[in-house]
């Protein structure tokens, strides 16, 4: 089976490599020439664990190739996946479909023989029908169907999420399209992964509803963490006690500085806009977004209070800048809100991140000192702020940390360490909700 993957970002590149691993013959296309040049030179433009080896293996087997030329691959493809970005549109918060529509137009021009054009990007309800209209208008003689196949992988665990997903969702209109998609996903069917076949609109909405619900769990526990602090309860005990109820579930109840990343923030906002467009309201999702913004502000206040009421002139050793560990992605990272707020009030920032520092240099205000070694951040610091729970920060030599610091404040925004242990070591320790 010949597959064309349009977009070589986090989703396109991982999906292309995984479909190739399933045995399909995949060509991944991007309009970013530099990205494709690097991929053709054997370099992976993003940090995603396991991806380099998977790509190399499938390129060597000639199951996977990269190009910038639509004309070279679309005509021979059975399935064309659109996996381009759908960021927040400036000004109104809707999903920006510029890239999806441009890809659809470019694909349309080169279609030859029956082809299924599949939206993998996260797109508002109705987009598959828009893509269908664009293709039909651009190339009236094209023989094609559209389908929706939203992606649920997480950055940092993308390959295992793709290879062993909880489910595959297929929005389809014809049996012919369904048969091709089922054949592509057959390796997952063999390991009994549920496949949800539904209409285009439902498939599109499932993706937003799932992300909004996960964001709801996070905002719920973050709000509980504030209450725990007020009443003297431990949010971890609360989360465990709640989460052991199978109807609630334990996952995504970890408090922190608020959710970030390229998806939850933009997708919750886009979902609210979709509802508004259809004269519906989503009060819960609106509240989830509000609580997330509040949580970031609450973290700024927490750090301020921990260093004695004013961050002016205080040196903060910041561990982790990316929105979560095991990725170099800085999009909507809580650090991009929390650190500028502290710097505005005169805080001095010494920061480390295992993968995110190049990107952070572009996005954070000038004046941050970036340290190649995490221990270098502690030199002369008044306080440590653990922002992202990279494994490298879980096993710190804490006596050495204290020895390097000027002060003894440790603000753990991910609750990596135990409050009692930290107090015993001599830290003034501040977690979230404990
Ligand atoms: P990304 O920004 O990493 O990659 C998008 C790529 O598309 C870029 O390389 C860009 O150059 C390319 N592109 C733009 N226009 C193009 C065109 N006309 N033709 C060919 N290539 C083009 O984005 P991403 O994180 O991979 O996300 C892609 C989609 O998948 C989004 O809708 C996102 O919401 C969704 N999604 C993302 C994740 C994730 O973890 N990142 C998970 C699930 C779903
Ligand atoms: C998320 C979803 O988990 C994926 O299923 C989905 O495919 C993807 O969005 C998407 O649509 O793009 P991702 O953003 O990569 O994946 O990362 P998550 O692991 O979900 O984390 C998102 C944010 O929530 C991070 O900032 C993380 O620190 C935060 N989080 C997560 C918490 O604060 N607490 C938790 O319990 C879980």
What pLDDT sits at residue 122?
Answer: 98
176 and 41 co-located in one domain: yes
Please, which residues have CB within 8 angstroms of residue 124's CB and are 6 or more apart in sequence? 94, 95, 97, 204, 208, 270, 273, 274
CA of 159 to the centre of ligand 1 (A): 16
246 and 329 co-located in one domain: no
65 and 167 co-located in one domain: yes
130 and 176 co-located in one domain: yes
Q: Is the pTM of this model over 0.95?
A: yes
Out of 264, 290, 316, pick the residue that ends a domain: 290
CA atoms of 13 and 64, how far apart (whole Å): 10
φ, ψ of residue 168 to 5 degrees: the values are: -115, 135
* Spans of the chain, pLDDT less than 70: none
CA 129 to chain centre: 26
Is 362 part of a structural domain of the chain?
yes
Pairing of strands 25-29, 315-319: unpaired
Total domains, the chain: 3
What pLDDT sits at residue 72?
Answer: 94
47 and 191 co-located in one domain: yes
383 and 414 co-located in one domain: yes
34 and 152 co-located in one domain: yes
**CA-to-CA dists, residue 154 to 99, 191, 423, angstroms:** 22, 20, 35
Out of 141, 168, 198, pick the residue that ends a domain: 198
Pocket test for ligand 1, best of 84, 95, 215 (most atoms within 8 A of CB): 84
Polymer length of the chain = 434
Token pair recorded at residue 258:
């608020």
Out of 198, 228, 263, pick the residue that ends a domain: 198
157 and 232 co-located in one domain: no
What share of residues in the chain are helix, strand, coil (percent, to 5)?
A: 45, 15, 40
Is 78 part of a structural domain of the chain?
yes
312 and 282 co-located in one domain: no
125 and 83 co-located in one domain: yes
Is 334 part of a structural domain of the chain?
yes
- CATH code of the domain containing 247: 1.10.1040.10
CA of 324 to the centre of ligand 2 (A): 8
Q: Could you give the angle at which helices 127-138 and 98-110 cross, rounded to 10 degrees?
A: 40
Ligand 2 environment, Cβ below 6 A: 122, 151-155, 211, 214, 218, 252-254, 256, 259-261, 263-264, 323-324
CA atoms of 45 and 133, how far apart (whole Å): 33
What pLDDT sits at residue 9?
Answer: 96
Token pair recorded at residue 265:
């923030």
Q: Please say whether the beta carbons of 255 and 415 come within 8 A.
A: yes
What pLDDT sits at residue 91?
Answer: 92
Q: Could you give the angle at which helices 335-344 and 283-306 cross, rounded to 10 degrees?
A: 40
What pLDDT sits at residue 346?
Answer: 98
Q: If we measure between CA atoms, which residue out of 158, 153, 159, 5 comes closest to residue 79?
A: 5
Is 401 part of a structural domain of the chain?
yes
Is 203 part of a structural domain of the chain?
no
Token pair recorded at residue 18:
């995984």
Is 242 part of a structural domain of the chain?
yes
Is 96 part of a structural domain of the chain?
yes
48 and 173 co-located in one domain: yes
Q: Rounded to a whole number, what is the distance in angstroms from the first to the last CA of the chain?
A: 53
**CA-to-CA dists, residue 110 to 74, 113, 172, 271, 404, angstroms:** 6, 10, 22, 33, 62
CA 274 to chain centre: 21
Q: Please say whether the beta carbons of 267 and 122 come within 8 A.
A: yes
- CATH code of the domain containing 321: 3.40.50.720
What pLDDT sits at residue 150?
Answer: 98
What pLDDT sits at residue 247?
Answer: 98
**Structural domain harbouring 257:** 208-290
413 and 309 co-located in one domain: yes
Is 308 part of a structural domain of the chain?
yes
């Amino acid at each position: 089976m010949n597959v064309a993957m349009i977009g070589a970002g986090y989703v396109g590149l991982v999906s292309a490599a995984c479909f190739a691993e399933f045995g399909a013959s995949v060509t991944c296309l991007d309009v970013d020439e530099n990205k494709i040049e690097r991929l053709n030179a054997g370099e992976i433009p993003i940090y995603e664990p396991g991806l380099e080896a998977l790509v190399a293996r499938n390129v060597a087997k000639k199951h996977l190739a990269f190009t910038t030329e639509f004309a070279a691959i679309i005509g021979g493809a059975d399935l064309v996946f659109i996996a381009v970005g759908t960021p927040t549109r400036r000004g109104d918060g809707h999903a920006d479909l510029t890239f999806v529509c441009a890809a659809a137009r470019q694909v349309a021009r080169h279609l030859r023989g029956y082809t299924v054009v599949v939206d993998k990007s996260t797109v508002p309800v109705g987009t598959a029908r828009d893509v269908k209209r664009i293709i039909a208008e651009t190339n009236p003689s094209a023989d094609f169907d559209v389908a929706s196949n939203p992606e649920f992988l997480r950055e940092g665990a993308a390959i295992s999420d793709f290879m062993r997903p909880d489910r595959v969702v297929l929005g389809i209109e014809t049996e012919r399209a369904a048969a091709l998609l089922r054949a592509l996903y057959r390796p997952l069917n063999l390991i009994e992964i549920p496949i949800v076949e539904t209409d285009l609109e439902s498939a599109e909405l499932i993706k937003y509803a799932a992300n909004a619900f996960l964001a709801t769990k996070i905002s719920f526990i973050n709000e509980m963490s504030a209450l725990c602090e007020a009443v003297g309860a431990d949010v971890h005990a609360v989360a465990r006690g709640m989460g052991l109820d199978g109807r609630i579930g334990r996952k995504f109840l970890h408090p922190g500085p608020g959710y970030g990343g390229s998806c939850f923030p933009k997708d919750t906002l886009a979902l609210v806009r979709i509802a508004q467009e259809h004269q519906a309201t989503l009060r819960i999702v609106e509240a989830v977004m509000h609580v997330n913004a509040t949580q970031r502000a609450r973290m700024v206040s927490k750090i301020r209070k921990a260093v004695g009421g004013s961050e002016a002139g205080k040196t903060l050793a910041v561990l982790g800048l990316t929105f979560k560990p095991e990725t170099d992605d800085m999009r909507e990272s809580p650090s991009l809100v929390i650190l500028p707020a502290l710097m505005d009030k005169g805080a001095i920032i010494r920061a480390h991140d295992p993968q995110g520092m190049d990107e952070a240099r572009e996005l954070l205000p000038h004046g941050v000192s970036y340290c190649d070694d995490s221990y270098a951040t502690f030199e002369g610091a008044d306080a440590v702020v653990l922002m992202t729970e990279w494994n490298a920060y879980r096993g710190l030599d804490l006596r050495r940390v204290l020895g390097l610091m000027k002060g003894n404040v440790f603000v753990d925004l991910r609750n990596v360490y135990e409050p009692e242990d930290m107090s015993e070591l001599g830290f003034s320790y501040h977690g979230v909700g404990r």
